[in-house]
Amino acid sequence: MSKKQKKMLARIIAAVVLLLVLRWVPAQGALGAALYMIPYAVIGWDILLKAGKGILNRQVFDENFLMAVATVGAIALGDYQEGTAVMLFYQIGELFQSYAVGRSRRSISALMDIRPDYANIEQDGALTRVDPDEVEVGSIIVVQPGEKVPIDGVVVEGSASLNTSALTGESLPREVSAGGEVISGCIDMSGVLRIRTSRAFGESTVSKILDLVENSSSKKSRSENFISRFARVYTPAVCFGALALAVLPPLAMLLMGRAPMWGEWVYRALTFLVISCPCALVISIPLSFFAGIGGASSAGVLVKGSNYLEALAQAKTVVFDKTGTLTCGSFEVVGVHHNELEQEKVLEYAALAESYSSHPISRSLRAAHGREIDASRVSDVREVSGGGVTATVDGVHIAVGNDKLMRELGVSFIPCSQPGTIVHVAIDGAYAGHILISDVVKPTSREAVEQLRKNGVTKTVMLTGDARSAAEHVAAQVGVDEVRAELLPDDKVAQVEALLVQKKPGEKLVFVGDGINDAPVLSRADIGVAMGALGSDAAIEAADVVLMDDDPLKLVKAIRIARKCMRIVYENIVFAIGVKLVCLLLGALGLANMWAAIFADVGVMVIAVLNAIRALMVKKL
């Protein structure tokens, strides 16, 4: 409990004690009224103050105003006990609410407990703890077992197994040794690592993720906007409704020549006001989204705003990129065919030309080449997105890429009949053979496509820049409905736009990619999902939803989490508005008194808040 909450609790206890004492005091009339003003002031002074400030700031109609009018009105009618009690219960409700919000915020930050507090740097043989912000790029930091990796970097010495669960939601440890990249936010579980930092702290994965989660609540969903618009209209409406209830029936009675019963109708109007307080809605809807986003991030799914969570729940079309999304993106060289030069030489030229590319194909060629690459031999690198790479290596012009690139360069090539991805190599404009590489489908891709269907997705499409035969081979293995091959990044955007036109209103289209050369598509789709984004800034930036590891089943999980969260949001809206309407009606008819009203209000709020917190629990989904 915070200090403020403790103070409130003390005030509540004091007011309860005072009210109990007053029951035994036989004071009547003016003295009784004056005595009751003590607990009333103890419990309600801040509400009265806030209501007064609201009036001065011309923002009259809020909860404080409703409570102030209702309780002051009750006291004016001589119902001191009731006025005080209503204020008391209102404050109990507020306390509970602030406690619940604090709790869920804290549990989210605990889930997101990846912010490193310090970094160890070596100075004169001893380790010194410094603020991660002060560590310069290229410094050597030391991470010991049990510590968090504070900054992204490359291991220069030592090996360890890293726990990535805070980032990915999975408890699978990741082994690293000298030369391996490490990402901040992982926890070192075994050995001492000496790491050369490759980024500043502010640019590291941890900082990016924390920024993203902290800013997610600024992107409001339609439901949230609906609630704030609703409250803006609703509160003044009930105030005028209450005024009408207080004035019109007595006037009508007078006109009919009967007793007006002013007291009775004013009391009903005040009850009406107490009932109408929209706190449950106003608090529980944003809290549900907040909890949903928090729960998702604990499962390794980062959602950049409640609007995306809402959209994800309505996903009907899912479009996948192939390489790195449905397949592992770690190609293996199967063979080098039709080559004039010796195999080694072709591979070496290809690997050198590709030395600046971050495409999975390039990484695999470099791995197949296997030797240290001397980047000074390479110049004039040009990467043709969706085609390949051209570069000058040792003074000769090398082109590495697919059929499209060869056609573009006017090089005649020999097609390959075997399944797999073909990388042609041309040297100074002459064909030098092709490298056949093959990628494997991720073990969970097929299940993910199936599960998506079970979760209401009606259409799955795979887009790829790869050749048709390789694309169809993969499509058959994973079971997607449609496949489009040989697409340049721009063609992918056009395909997604065509699919966007085809779908029904209210349905959403998700594009899932790995963030390598598909940023334009990610931003064009209703929801762009980047997968396996650990360490890839471009993907984290371009996407609306980031899956921290590269398992396609995470997408299913993300949709389930979104659905659950939206269900909770709707439950809360219907429940809160429903109970309110019934109570308002009972109040207007004089069937509910102020006690019933305050219980209904606090009760609805407690239930709605507890319901909202359910959105945080996503582990079992």
- Of 306 and 362, which CB lies nearer to ligand ADP in the complex structure? 362
Q: Which residues contact 119 (CB under 8 A, 6 or more apart)?
A: 129, 130, 131, 132, 135, 141, 150, 151, 201
Task: Select the residue interacting with Mg ion from 81, 298, 323, 421 (CB under 5 A).
Answer: 323
- Of 304 and 484, which CB lies nearer to ligand ADP in the complex structure? 484
Site for ligand ADP contains 573 (CB under 6 A): no
Minimum distance between the CB of residue 323 and Mg ion, rounded to whole angstroms? Answer: 5
Site for ligand ADP contains 528 (CB under 6 A): no
- Residue of 79, 152, 188, 321 marked active site: 321
Helices 222-255/553-588 angle, 10° precision: 10
Reply yes or no on whether 321 is catalytic. Answer: yes
Question: In degrees rounded to 5, what are phi and psi of residue 178?
Answer: -50, 135
Pair of tokens at residue 525: 């789709």
Helices 594-613/262-276 angle, 10° precision: 10
DSSP class of residue 398 equals E
Considering only CA atoms, which of 523, 541, 561 is closest in space to residue 205?
A: 541
Site for Mg ion contains 321 (CB under 5 A): yes
Minimum distance between the CB of residue 169 and ligand ADP, rounded to whole angstroms? Answer: 25
Site for Mg ion contains 204 (CB under 5 A): no
Q: What sign does the dihedral 455-461-464-466 (CA atoms) show?
A: positive
| Full strand arrangement of the beta sheet holding 482-484 | 301-303, 545-547, 527-531, 508-513, 315-321, 459-463, 482-484
Q: What residues between 402 and 431 interact with ligand ADP by CB under 6 A?
A: 402, 421, 423
- Of 294 and 513, which CB lies nearer to Mg ion in the complex structure? 513
Site for ligand ADP contains 314 (CB under 6 A): no
Site for ligand ADP contains 348 (CB under 6 A): no
- Of 510 and 602, which CB lies nearer to Mg ion in the complex structure? 510
What is the bridge-based pairing of β-strands 187-188 and 160-163?
Answer: antiparallel
Contacted entry of ligand ADP, Mg ion, none for residue 163, CB cut-off 5 to 8 Å set by kind: none
What are the counts of helices (DSSP H) followed by strands (DSSP E) for the chain?
20, 22
- Of 313 and 516, which CB lies nearer to Mg ion in the complex structure? 516
Task: Select the residue interacting with ligand ADP from 464, 536, 572, 611 (CB under 6 A).
Answer: 464
Site for ligand ADP contains 120 (CB under 6 A): no
Q: Are 607 and 575 in contact (CB under 8 A)?
A: yes
Rg (CA), the chain: 33
SS (H, E, C) 43-67: HHHHHHHHHHHHHHCCCCCCHHHHH
Task: Select the residue interacting with ligand ADP from 120, 207, 357, 460 (CB under 6 A).
Answer: 357
Nearest residue to ligand ADP, using CB?
A: 465
Contacted entry of Mg ion, ligand ADP, none for residue 480, CB cut-off 5 to 8 Å set by kind: none
Binding segment (CB under 5 A) for Mg ion, from list 58-66, 72-80, 108-116, 317-325: 317-325
Number of residues that bind Mg ion (CB under 5 A): 2
Binding site for Mg ion (CB under 5 A): 321, 323
Residues identified as active-site: 321
Binding site for ligand ADP (CB under 6 A): 321-323, 354, 357, 359, 361-362, 386-389, 400-402, 421, 423, 464-466, 517
